[in-house]
Structure 1
């Protein structure tokens, strides 16, 4: 296995013969959980709407991959066959569907009914943490939906263990990205009153501890339990502590009035951090109330971690170290996209459509010949975006990123791993749709624009040594607005792309070849 995806719990199952199904396998928690389940000795089945999206993980050859739509009874029946433990790790965070509460409820009922028929012994659901004295109508839509799903599963024929957790702290988690970028970018923050609400964070490693043990119980459990680190913080303290660890002095002030600022807060978080507004909004709404543990009955079911809980400060240090040195095996942005197979369709059509098909493609193509081998140029290509930037006019890229954020796009949202790419990875506002190391990379734009856009990088070996580097920007406009957009940015392309080619070759020359 890749070191970045190696297990951290060192746990050996007492019931390794159990077969485990993980739904939401491409998500932040699901992708990491499978690594731990395999290390513990379980047999794992993983599911996604698109099986190809599972093949980006190091564990994909060690599990059974199944493509399924959880809302369809027949497909869920195939998933649940011969399964002992089912992890329900799907949720609607970031969903634009106004009826997501109804959709989530329907899917939960479908899962519960089919699981009962199939003989599943235990369901495990990771839910949110909210005050017990609140009525459903007082909760945000997303928290209300999670609690409704929890109640549906608890009342189902299959025993269900509900793990209620607040903010998960780990490299690549949406909550950590919000804390990190707000603190890194804003010396002074004026925030709504919820900045003073209390939160009990949980390190992702401790969350995985509970989740893995949940597959190894001596007998099925039907119960909801709070899980946290045992210490509560104001959200403002989470920001300040992160700043202290990074050597940044930060000032956080809350507005004296309890104003209805959830939408504004979500928009602001989406603008300042890589987390898109549609995901930031439900996260901001979930902060409107305290999220702390009110009981610790989980200790009667699963023992606390032997070495104790990871404190928030230590969890942040672990996350920073992973982010800076190895990258992250899973990230929040895996769920913020259309399925991987859908992303590539426009590109595949562009490559195969005959010229007479009627689609107009604008292209900016640049080529450079170098004495460097492709293997030496490739690491620079693979490292594009994120902290490395795009090797040309960084201020123009930054302005374009801010403009994209303002209209609801991803902007310069960073990347999962600082040096390595996998199919489906995000690079700022681009998505990897084709990858053939060390010669070929295709990125499709996810920015808000009237049309489809791609960046294509090719490095081919020359017969007499060295290589030829080709860089293409392609744009398929949608109507007149798309054409006007291309003509408006063409002058900037004429400045940006030649420098990009030149600087990439220059960077490759100054970088020692990999051993």
Structure 2
């Protein structure tokens, strides 16, 4: 019998392919035998994904309906995995318009099914703004001409998920917690591997179902009990949790923003989802999609798998994988015409007595646990200030300790351009009255060694932006001068017999997770787990 033609396999479109779920769904669909078209606002942010060569990549944005035509052409099943978490005051309008544009474009392209991942919520209660928006997106897709399968999940447990990182850092850092009373509400967590199982299964459902399905794991417990479950898996003493009725979601999200890597803007919708119980009201999908081999993953096993992934630096995607809509990426404000006549900058260069390859390895390994090679106290203080006002601070860390990719979060920066061995451009995502970039470049020097180029660029917004620049200007010599000297010294201090190994450290293709640059309170664990499983 002839093998089936892979070109006859259904074509799936994965929107949000650079995000946490989308980046994991792509390889899951490939493994299941589907053809995959991955959609992102910036296609270059998918270049380093291990599955890049197996999929078609299309650049499109639901905010630009015209760009959706090519993305949806010939698609059988379209996954809608877009939601403006922490997306500013107008996020609901963007979500609403994006869903409408996508539903209309899918109908014009004769797509057979749309699959959407939303959140479990009780009926008949007033929902938070973010939960209401997610529900509205599902309702818009269900009301469209293309049949939609809307999956609703509660807390997702997996390495790198925002929910898991909140749980992990609260448990590890706070042996005693004063928590809101609604931490005792029941939730039904679901392992990320089981979320992917149901998402893939949704593409194979027979007929043309147009409805919601609640999906949940085998355990129903409270978030407080979930924190204790993490403590057990991590080998920590049981946490003491004192609940009080006065801690509002706003206060709780600010506290989470200070204690965990997840900033306030992302933490708040997650916290607000805990105000109500999140338990599946029905299990209809289990009758249509067989359970995964071995059954659904329990909470304890899901936590063990996630910890193993983190320990092995094998975290495929993280909560900060996707960049927010509308984030600036180009053009770089290199001339007064772009910026209205005002561009501030600090530019330096230095000869380094090391090979360009060794110097580049130091540059590509910057941030995360290694820090920023200058005035550590200043960076930590600025990171704390950023977290107080809801920014990412320094705790996002790195995806991998040695290797970067375009789109990666790097502490409070985002990798905007990467020419491996030559140029690294970072865009600041800290709270600042303007836009800021940092460039680090390498060039081979005549006569041996390398030239290190360093440039900081700032485009101020209004008078406040200018005042900010001049307020920090006296520290530039300490920060940027020290950074350049110490990067050069780090490259020069690599022993000659190790320089080839150091230069090759950033050439791997694995992924990982490296966080907590402004604290030393991480706890190593020795959980015996099967690291080949998805978490």
TM-score strictly above 0.5 = yes
1:283 aligns with 2:274: no
1:91 aligns with 2:78: no
Which structure 2 residue ranges, 5 or more long, are not aligned? Answer: 505-535
Q: Indicate the RMSD between aligned Cα atoms, in angstroms.
A: 3.0
Q: What is the DSSP-based 3-state SS (H/G/I as helix, E as strand, rest coil) of the residue aligned with 1:275?
A: coil
| Cα deviation digits, residues 118-139 of structure 1 (max 9, x gap) | 33222211110122xx31x522
| Cα deviation digits, residues 319-346 of structure 1 (max 9, x gap) | 2332343353322223443457x3232x
Looking at structure 1, the residues matched to 63 and 459 of structure 2 have their Cα atoms a distance apart, in angstroms, of 34
Looking at structure 2, the residues matched to 245 and 432 of structure 1 have their Cα atoms a distance apart, in angstroms, of 33
Query: 2:87, 2:325 within 8 Å by CA — same for their partners in 1?
Result: no
Looking at structure 2, the residues matched to 335 and 214 of structure 1 have their Cα atoms a distance apart, in angstroms, of 24
Q: Which residue of 1 aligns with 2:251?
A: 264
Q: Which residue of 2 aligns with 1:454?
A: 437
Query: 1:454, 1:474 within 8 Å by CA — same for their partners in 2?
Result: yes
Which structure 1 residue ranges, 5 or more long, are not aligned? Answer: 1-11
Looking at structure 2, the residues matched to 339 and 510 of structure 1 have their Cα atoms a distance apart, in angstroms, of 41
The verdict on how the C-alpha distance between 1:356 and 1:253 changes in structure 2, with shifts beyond 3 A counting, is closer
The verdict on how the C-alpha distance between 1:220 and 1:195 changes in structure 2, with shifts beyond 3 A counting, is same
Looking at structure 2, the residues matched to 218 and 338 of structure 1 have their Cα atoms a distance apart, in angstroms, of 35
Aligned 1:110-129 pairs, distance under 5 A: 110-129=101-120
Looking at structure 2, the residues matched to 139 and 356 of structure 1 have their Cα atoms a distance apart, in angstroms, of 41
Q: Which residue of 1 aligns with 2:526?
A: none
Which of 185, 209, 212 is the matching residue for 2:200?
212
| Pairwise CA distance, 1:284 | 0.9
Looking at structure 2, the residues matched to 230 and 446 of structure 1 have their Cα atoms a distance apart, in angstroms, of 38
The structure that is helix-richer by fraction is 1
Which of 99, 104, 110 is the matching residue for 1:108?
99
Looking at structure 2, the residues matched to 117 and 474 of structure 1 have their Cα atoms a distance apart, in angstroms, of 44
| Cα deviation digits, residues 109-152 of structure 1 (max 9, x gap) | 44334434433222211110122xx31x5221222222233233
Which of 318, 325, 339 is the matching residue for 1:331?
318
Which of 227, 239, 245 is the matching residue for 1:251?
239
| Pairwise CA distance, 1:31 | 1.5
Q: What is the DSSP-based 3-state SS (H/G/I as helix, E as strand, rest coil) of the residue aligned with 2:316?
A: coil
Q: What is the DSSP-based 3-state SS (H/G/I as helix, E as strand, rest coil) of the residue aligned with 1:255?
A: strand
Looking at structure 2, the residues matched to 445 and 153 of structure 1 have their Cα atoms a distance apart, in angstroms, of 35
1:393 aligns with 2:375: yes
Bigger relative CO (Cα 8 Å, ≥ 6 apart): 2
| Cα deviation digits, residues 228-247 of structure 1 (max 9, x gap) | 22102211222233233334
The verdict on how the C-alpha distance between 1:434 and 1:101 changes in structure 2, with shifts beyond 3 A counting, is closer
Which of 323, 341, 344 is the matching residue for 2:330?
344
Q: Which residue of 1 aligns with 2:387?
A: 405
Q: Which residue of 1 aligns with 2:419?
A: 436
Q: Which residue of 2 aligns with 1:373?
A: 355
The verdict on how the C-alpha distance between 1:278 and 1:179 changes in structure 2, with shifts beyond 3 A counting, is same
Q: Which residue of 2 aligns with 1:25?
A: 17
The verdict on how the C-alpha distance between 1:122 and 1:366 changes in structure 2, with shifts beyond 3 A counting, is same
Q: Which residue of 2 aligns with 1:8?
A: none
Which of 118, 129, 147 is the matching residue for 1:159?
147
| Pairwise CA distance, 1:33 | 0.7
The verdict on how the C-alpha distance between 1:14 and 1:51 changes in structure 2, with shifts beyond 3 A counting, is closer
1:494 aligns with 2:463: no
| Pairwise CA distance, 1:70 | 2.5
| Pairwise CA distance, 1:158 | 2.9
Looking at structure 1, the residues matched to 80 and 386 of structure 2 have their Cα atoms a distance apart, in angstroms, of 34
| TM-score between the two structures when normalised by the length of structure 1 | 0.86
1:426 aligns with 2:409: yes
Looking at structure 1, the residues matched to 55 and 133 of structure 2 have their Cα atoms a distance apart, in angstroms, of 30
Query: 2:45, 2:405 within 8 Å by CA — same for their partners in 1?
Result: no
Looking at structure 2, the residues matched to 322 and 505 of structure 1 have their Cα atoms a distance apart, in angstroms, of 33
Query: 2:44, 2:406 within 8 Å by CA — same for their partners in 1?
Result: no
The verdict on how the C-alpha distance between 1:361 and 1:249 changes in structure 2, with shifts beyond 3 A counting, is same
Equivalenced residue count is 494
| TM-score between the two structures when normalised by the length of structure 2 | 0.83
| Cα deviation digits, residues 91-125 of structure 1 (max 9, x gap) | 23212134x44543444344334434433222211
Looking at structure 1, the residues matched to 417 and 242 of structure 2 have their Cα atoms a distance apart, in angstroms, of 46
